[in-house]
Every structure is written in structure tokens, then in C-alpha cells.
Amino acid sequence: MTKTLSERIALFTDKHKNTGKQFLPVFIALKSDIEQALQDGWTVHQVWITLHDEGKIKCSYQWFRTLVNRHIADDSKQRLRNVPGKSATTDQDGFRFNSVTEKEELI
């Protein structure tokens, strides 16, 4: 007898629970190497192909890109925000918007 769609979905979800989370520890372990390769100018795809062929990464390319965007791209954005540089000051000369209309300016 054929199982219903709901029964088949339940079996599938039981088999494939948290599949994305199983790749995270491996990715975190290789994070510094991946980050260095990306800084050296290699593309995410080239890094994934090499690691996948070596058997170190077993996830799909799409999931690998997601991990890179979450864990490496976010870190570099955070570092860019924390770089000391020009700080915004409120007493700069230039255009200032005043929402109150003054009668002298209208004449």
C-alpha cells in the first residue's frame, strides 16, 4: 500500500533534520584557510571546488556560499565598521535642512 504524501513528508523530515547545521563545524574549522584564500584573490567557487574535491567540505556550493556570506562576509563588514577614521561631526559647514519656514527667506 502506498503511503500518503503527509507520511512521506514526515519520513523525509525525520531523515533530513538539521542538515545545514552538520556542515557548520567543518566550515568553522576551515574558516581561517577559506578567509585567507578569498583574500588572496580566489573566488568562492574555486575554494569550494578544491575543498569539495579533497573531501573536506561535503555541502553543496549554494550552502557553502551561504556560510561564507554569514560568517566571513559579515566579519569583514564588521571590521570595516570598526576601522578608525573620520568621525562624523554635527558641526560641519554645508547644507542644513530647516523644516520651519522663515518669512524673511520667502520675500
Give me the residues of the chain with pLDDT under 50, please: none
Q: What amino acid occupies position 47?
A: V
Whether 53 maps to a domain, the answer reads: yes
Whether 52 maps to a domain, the answer reads: yes
Whether 98 maps to a domain, the answer reads: no
DSSP, residue by residue, 36-93: HHHHTT--HHHHHHHHHHHTS--S-HHHHHHHHIIIIIHHHHHHHHTS--PPP-S--S
Residue 52's pLDDT is what? 95
Q: What amino acid occupies position 93?
A: D
Domain encompassing residue 31: 21-80
Number of domains observed in the structure of the chain:
1
Residue 67's pLDDT is what? 93
Residue 33's pLDDT is what? 95
Q: What amino acid occupies position 75?
A: D
C-alpha span between 64 and 14 (Å, rounded): 23
Residue 54's pLDDT is what? 96
Biggest distance spanned by C-alpha atoms of the chain: 88
C-alpha span between 38 and 44 (Å, rounded): 7
